[in-house]
Amino acid sequence: METRTILCLVLFFATFLQPSLSDSELCHPDDKKVLLEIKKSFNDPDIFVSWDPKTDCCNWTFITCDDNNRVGELTVVDVDCDLVGPIPPEVGDLPYLLLLAFIDCPNLTGTIPPAIAKLNNLQGLGFRNTNISGPIPEFIGDFKDLLILDLGDNCFSGQIPNTIGSLPNLFALNLSFNHFSGPIPGSFEQATSDLSWNSFKFDFSNAVFPKFLFFLDISHNRIFGSLPQGLTDLYLSYFDVGYNKLSGEIPQGGKLQSFGPWPYRRNKGLCGDPLPPCKSIRQVGFI
Ligand SMILES: *[C@@H]1O[C@H](CO)[C@@H](O)[C@H](O)[C@H]1NC(C)=O
Ligand SMILES: *[C@@H]1O[C@H](CO)[C@@H](O)[C@H](O)[C@H]1NC(C)=O
Ligand SMILES: *[C@@H]1O[C@H](CO)[C@@H](O)[C@H](O)[C@H]1NC(C)=O
Ligand SMILES: *[C@@H]1O[C@H](CO)[C@@H](O)[C@H](O)[C@H]1NC(C)=O
């Protein structure tokens, strides 16, 4: 799967965020000003060489504008490790942003800045292979339109906030390869308990998505506790909780048995189908 989820996301957004074909300046001046401030705060790195104040910002690399020529997408892929330092708070001043992603930016450090809370229209938020650390801020739970949260392969730690479990439109959650600990939030259970098959409907134009989580990857962390029963309500097409410290019986039902033992690998305490049966209390403790 590697970067496939995030690439699909980028392609998906690219289909309805049409870059402008006109050669006149279309970029909104407010957005342009913010982007130039972002460039400056990273010390004019080479990857932003196309971010020339004399040209239309809707034609700059990593930028896609929406139909109203507002910046709708900022997806930075930094193969040359040019971006050094924290995410500048100015990122929060792009009010029409639907997708924000930093991919392969190993020198991007610090935490998710509080200014990102202002981006509450976001449908996709991705940090892939960066050195961003700290907890997932609680305010992510206010991003009611969020479809994809991809935080795979960073240095995030702390507990997975409960609020993530109740994001109504989330369909892909990747928290793998971080340092998360604590239990899987019980709210995954609540989030799925009013679910109806009738809501299963893809309508990209209206951005109506099923209230289902399709992709769940929380592998390679330090997550402990048992798997919530609510996971059996999810119509998962990708599921991975491997390399954690989970324990207890795997809930029976839904998709949880359908992938075989692989999603559960390297969790010493998990048992029950598709893993070997749990030892009953009687077998273990009977005197
Ligand atoms: C989640 O992110 C990790 C790390 O970047 C990646 O290896 C994995 O394939 C991703 N999972 C999915 C389902 O895309
Ligand atoms: C967009 O930028 C490319 C070079 O990066 C240039 O060739 C092209 O003319 C520009 N298009 C517009 C509409 O400015
Ligand atoms: C990334 O973070 C780790 C510790 O979290 C640190 O040791 C390392 O130097 C950082 N790398 C960069 C490129 O900043
Ligand atoms: C950026 O990261 C690379 C590889 O992770 C490292 O070799 C380099 O020293 C870093 N540059 C700065 C300025 O931190």
Does any domain span residue 213? yes
CA angle 199, 117, 172 (to 5 degrees): 35
Element (DSSP H or E) covering residue 11? helix 4-16
Give the type of residue at 229: Q
Residue 42 has a CB neighbour count (10 Å cut-off) of: 21
Does any domain span residue 287? no
Residues in the ligand 1 pocket, defined by CB under 6 Å: 1-2, 4-5, 128-129, 152-153, 174, 176-177, 215, 217, 238
Does any domain span residue 116? yes
The sign of the dihedral angle between the CA atoms of 222, 228, 230, 233 is positive
Q: Average pLDDT, whole number, for the chain?
A: 83
User: What pLDDT sits at residue 23?
Assistant: 56
Does any domain span residue 83? yes
Distance 273 CA to ligand 1 centre (A): 25
Question: Given the CA of residue 23, which atom of ligand 2 is nearest to it?
Answer: 13
d(CA 104, CA 281): 47
Q: What is the mean pLDDT of residues 101-130?
A: 95
- Core vs surface per residue 56-78: b (16+ CB within 10 A) or e: bbbbbebbbbbeebbbbbbbbbb
When divided into structural domains, the chain yields a total of: 1
Q: Are strands 85-86 and 108-109 parallel, antiparallel or unpaired?
A: parallel
- Which residues are registered as beta bridge partners of 157? 179
Q: What is the pTM of this model?
A: 0.82
Contact predicate 29/53, CB 8 Å: no
Structure tokens at 271: 């048992």
Does any domain span residue 57? yes
Element (DSSP H or E) covering residue 189? helix 187-192
- CB burial of residue 250 (10 Å; 0-12, 13-18, 19+): buried
Name the 3-class secondary structure at 208.
strand
> Which of the residue ranges 30-34, 191-195, 205-209 would you say has the lowest mean pLDDT?
205-209
Residues in the ligand 4 pocket, defined by CB under 6 Å: 81, 84, 106-107
Question: Given the CA of residue 22, which atom of ligand 2 is nearest to it?
Answer: 13
* pLDDT single digits (tens) 68-91: 999 999 999 988 888 999 999 999
Q: For 44, which DSSP code? A: S
Q: What Å distances lie between residue 38 and 58, 63, 69, 127, 151, CA to CA? A: 15, 13, 19, 17, 21
Does any domain span residue 161? yes
User: What pLDDT sits at residue 202?
Assistant: 29
Distance 126 CA to ligand 4 centre (A): 21
Residue 176 sits at φ, ψ, to 5 deg, of: -70, 160
Residue-number span of the structural domain to which 113 is assigned: 24-271
Q: Give the percent of the chain with pLDDT over 70.
A: 80
The sign of the dihedral angle between the CA atoms of 8, 18, 108, 127 is negative
Is 266 a residue whose pLDDT tops 80?
A: yes
Question: Given the CA of residue 56, which atom of ligand 2 is nearest to it?
Answer: 14
d(CA 60, CA 74): 10
Does any domain span residue 3? no
d(CA 98, CA 147): 10
Q: What is the mean pLDDT of residues 250-261?
A: 94
Residue 186 has a CB neighbour count (10 Å cut-off) of: 14
Does any domain span residue 164? yes
For atom 8 of ligand 1, which residue has the closest CA?
A: 2
- Say which CATH number the domain at 239 has: 3.80.10.10
User: What pLDDT sits at residue 197?
Assistant: 27
